[in-house]
Amino acid sequence: MKKFDLFITGVGGQGNILASDITGEVALSAGYDVKKTDTLGMAQRGGSVISHVRIAERVHSPLIKEGEVDILVGFEKLEAVRWASYLKPGAVAIVNSFAQPPLSVNLGIDRYPADKEVTDILKQRAGRIFLVDGTHRVTELGNSRTLNIFMLGCLSRFLPFKVESWKQSVRAHLPARLHKNNADAFDLGRKEISDGR
Amino acid sequence: MKKLLSGNEALALGAYHAGVRVATAYPGTPSTEILEAIAPYEDVYAEWSTNEKVALEVGLGACYTGARTLVCMKAVGLNVAADPFLAAATTGVSGGLVIVSADDPSIHSSQGEQDNRHYAKLAKVPILEPADSQQAYDLMPFAFEISERFDTPVIMRTTTRISHSKSVVNITGDRPAETGKRAFPRNVQKYVMLPVNARLRRPYIEERLVKLAEFAETFPFNKIEPGGNSLGIIASGIGYQYAREVFPEASFLLLGMTYPLPTTLLRRFAGQVKQILVVEELDPFLEDSIKALGIQVTGKEFIPRIGELNADIVEAAGKKMGVLKEKPAPPKIALKNPLPGRPPLLCPGCPHTGMFYVLASLGQRLKLPGAKEKEPKESPLVITGDIGCYTLATYPPLNAMDTTACMGASIGHAIGMEKAGLKSKIVAVIGDSTFLHSGITPLIDAVYNQSKITVVILDNGTTAMTGHQEHPGTGVSVKGEQAGRVVLEDLVRGMGVRDVRVVNSFSIKELRAAVRDSLEKPELSVIISRGACAVRVPRGADTRAIDIESCNQCGICLLIGCPAIQSDGKQPFIDTSMCMGEKCTICQQVCPKQAIMPSSELKAAR
């Protein structure tokens, strides 16, 4: 059995935790041992959120060591680069090309990193970087809140789990009226990576 | 059946399968989800109690009737509940009583860091520590059995990483068909702690501890996992997992019960290995006790006592100790510019934003973007604060909170400052749930001692910070059913406060008038600022937009700290995906140029 250490990062409210829950369940149903944990600040919304998902034959620590992350899934650019030091040399980084400037940037105290800076930082560790246009794609699809499932579609390209298993877990977490939308978002995410490869 | 469960979910399921009949809690990170997971079961009575002290008193009463009872709280919650906790240790139980104390190393969401294992020693009661969700599930039935067999409350101690990590649980148990009869045979010597009876219980407590220590020797969750003999690890809780990852060759003694300790087992383990490292989060609780037995171990010499551990930290400790070899690390990430941080914020449409904007402006605390840093001077208004989402108003741009210590402290702080002779006006700010938790008694103190402070109760109709739990002010139970309701203004008036007003959280004009008026009045005032939590209400229609033609880029709209209002350095704009529209309109009300308006109006004007 291979091991997969994943980071799913974003801003509170983007649906990180649901995405990492689904990933963990899919891995469990494929017969792996799984641990997942989220580190988040004190409030519900707006702060940095990061989920560690560890998938292997046997997992001990729920937290991934620095330099050990195989795949980074970033829902927001700044939150993706923030954790670059956790990437294993040669890791895969899938980053939603979307900026949500923190308050210090809006107040003119700090500067949001330019796209080149983002990729330059990630390149210091990542072997392959996929900048995907998730926010745009799901907005076109009609539901911007399906971004997390779109990103799972992207991630699914790099994990040995069945597409139907992903979709089943997505359905299990959402009310029926959202099933179609999210299944479409998942497919779009898969397509995004196959097109970009 | 295998399931991916958080530690908290596993504790709830374990308790359910152990036949728990009554479960109580006050929400508190990282413990909140335990009661939420147990509440849906129809054959369990579950309640959000007013605070942790009440939760434990209700729990104690329940267990006296023979019902297995679970009481859950965060680490600092046990400080609130310390009085009934020590009482429970004295009276003992009838049905099993398990108290979950969820500690928060690294202070992810608390006001301080504390190792609640010390409470076990203080009260002379047993403490269990699961090392993952499986153990959280498996330990629960044992916890109830120990409680009943030794006539003692049992602490189940988790930490944030245990409570909030999900791991695989093999669910082997089921709900027992029969959970016993309820009865309360009068037993004054056991249940009425007059000094004469408490003195009679006292020797039993010492005997109990001796018996528990004997029991710990063969307790199946205290176990040696043999490995190499050059290094032995003694660990408990999450520390075990990090050490398992870092030292695959070592021998392990995993302690599922960390007080009282199994001395014979410890000595046996010590005899099997050349040197021992104790891996535990926070204080050297195990280490000190083991050293006191004359067993040579090391621990905090290498393992930090502050903050939560992780495999990196334990690995670094192993290298420092000389039992792990240095490995080359990948080159450090080079950053041209430091990355901006992203602290949590009040949400777009938060009902607290308007009040804090008013307090900050009356307190002369607002600073426009790019304006020069003013000499720090005494604010004409001191704002004592409390615990909840609103503590985030401490951050710029609002800068609107001066103290936060513990639940309910804002009001006492304000009274103390006034009575000590501080010349500034003083406002105490407290949320609805926090007020009901522990703001009532200090407000009575203010009435009694003729304090002239202003108390603001931010009433958003929920316990927002911990994830929107109900409370006595909402009139809804943890099961989502109709419950009794405490009306804040009636309560406050009934306590003897004469100047009480209820204002709309989303009207700057009303808020400003109320605060100004209350501050001028030479008597105690209470302002209840009422408006629903933004996360709980549907978004309003017509998001706001900035008319670039009339906007003079003064930056005042940025001072409310709304995450939906962004700026490219000069021109502010509103992110419509975040704006709460007509539900809020605070930005529109503060704009001196009337440049913020409903998007529909702006479109029509063009």
| pLDDT in the model for residue A123 | 96
Cis peptide before B30 (omega within 30 of 0): yes
Q: Please provide residue B132's backbone torsions phi and psi, each rounded to the nearest 5 degrees.
A: -165, -175
To test the contact with chain B by mutation, choose from A37, A115, A122, A143 the residue with the greatest count of B C-beta atoms within 10 A, namely A37
| pLDDT for residue B562 is more than 80 | yes
Average pLDDT over residues B31-53: 98
| pLDDT for residue B369 is more than 90 | no
| pLDDT in the model for residue B247 | 98
Report how far residue B87's alpha carbon sits from residue B118's, in angstroms, rounded to the nearest whole number.
Answer: 16
Closest CB to B345: pick one of A60, A66, A103. Answer: A103
Instruction: Give the confidence band of B331 by pLDDT, cuts at 50, 70, 90.
Output: confident
| pLDDT in the model for residue A191 | 95
Using a CB-CB cut-off of 8 Å, the residues of chain A touching B465 are: 42-44
Burial B291-308 (b: 16+ CB within 10 A, else e): eeeebebebeebbeeeeb
To test the contact with chain A by mutation, choose from B4, B225, B333, B342 the residue with the greatest count of A C-beta atoms within 10 A, namely B342
Cα Dmax for chain B: 85
| pLDDT in the model for residue A42 | 58
Q: Which of B461, B462, B479 is nearest to B23 (CA)?
A: B479
Q: Please provide residue B174's backbone torsions phi and psi, each rounded to the nearest 5 degrees.
A: -155, 165
Virtual torsion, Cα B319, B324, B326, B329, nearest 10 deg: -90
Say yes or no: B61 contacts chain A, CB-CB below 8 A: no
Instruction: Give the confidence band of A45 by pLDDT, cuts at 50, 70, 90.
Output: low
Find the angle CA(B432)-CA(B433)-CA(B438) to the nearest 5 degrees.
100
Average pLDDT over residues B306-323: 97
Domains and CATH numbers, chain B: 2-178+186-218 (3.40.50.970), 222-321 (3.40.50.920), 353-369+376-530 (3.40.50.970), 544-605 (3.30.70.20)
Task: Tell me the two tokens of residue B369.
Answer: 């973007």
Instruction: Give the confidence band of B521 by pLDDT, cuts at 50, 70, 90.
Output: very high
Say yes or no: B465 contacts chain A, CB-CB below 8 A: yes
> Domain A4-196 belongs to what topology?
Pyruvate-ferredoxin Oxidoreductase; domain 3 (3.40.920)
Indicate the burial class of B421 (C-beta count within 10 angstroms; 0-12, 13-18, 19 or more).
Answer: exposed
| pLDDT in the model for residue B345 | 87
Instruction: Give the confidence band of A182 by pLDDT, cuts at 50, 70, 90.
Output: very high
The mean pLDDT value of chain B amounts to 96
| pLDDT in the model for residue B152 | 98
Reading phi first (left if > 0) and then psi (alpha if -120 to 50, else beta), residue B125 is in: beta
Q: Which residues contact A73 (CB under 8 A, 6 or more apart)?
A: A6, A7, A8, A9, A19, A94, A151, A154, A155
Distance of residue A30 Cα from the nearest chain B Cα, in angstroms = 12
- Counted across chains A and B, CB pairs separated by less than 8 A come out at 162
Instruction: Give the confidence band of B211 by pLDDT, cuts at 50, 70, 90.
Output: very high
How many other C-beta atoms lie within 10 A of the C-beta of residue B349? Answer: 26
Indicate the burial class of B554 (C-beta count within 10 angstroms; 0-12, 13-18, 19 or more).
Answer: middle
Average pLDDT over residues B332-355: 92
Report how far residue A98's alpha carbon sits from residue B512's, in angstroms, rounded to the nearest whole number.
Answer: 38
| pLDDT for residue A43 is more than 90 | no
Q: Which of B459, B456, B460 is nearest to B524 (CA)?
A: B456
Report how far residue B74's alpha carbon sits from residue B165's, in angstroms, rounded to the nearest whole number.
Answer: 16
Q: Which of B530, B463, B522 is nearest to B492 (CA)?
A: B530
Question: To the nearest whole percent, how much of chain B has pLDDT over 90?
Answer: 90
Instruction: Give the confidence band of A63 by pLDDT, cuts at 50, 70, 90.
Output: very high
Average pLDDT over residues A23-28: 98
Q: Please provide residue B495's backbone torsions phi and psi, each rounded to the nearest 5 degrees.
A: -80, -10
Sheet of A48-56, strands arranged across: A126-132, A87-96, A69-74, A4-11, A48-56, A33-40, B165-170, B2-6
Distance of residue A109 Cα from the nearest chain B Cα, in angstroms = 8
> Tens digits of per-residue pLDDT, B163-197?
999 999 999 999 999 878 899 999 999 999 999 99
Instruction: Give the confidence band of B481 by pLDDT, cuts at 50, 70, 90.
Output: very high
Using a CB-CB cut-off of 8 Å, the residues of chain B touching A108 are: 369-370, 567, 569
| pLDDT for residue B485 is more than 90 | yes
Question: To the nearest whole percent, how much of chain A has pLDDT over 90?
Answer: 84
Q: Which residues contact A136 (CB under 8 A, 6 or more apart)?
A: none
Instruction: Give the confidence band of B479 by pLDDT, cuts at 50, 70, 90.
Output: very high
Report how far residue A16's alpha carbon sits from residue A10's, in angstroms, rounded to the nearest whole number.
Answer: 6
The end-to-end CA distance of chain B, in Å, is: 62
Which string of DSSP letters, residue by residue, matches B156-191?
Answer: EEEEHHHHHEEEEEE------S----------HHHH
pTM over the 0.90 mark: yes
The mean pLDDT value of chain A amounts to 93
Least reliable range by pLDDT among A59-73, B78-92, B287-301, B565-579: B565-579
Say yes or no: B587 contacts chain A, CB-CB below 8 A: no
> Tens digits of per-residue pLDDT, B114-128?
999 999 999 999 999
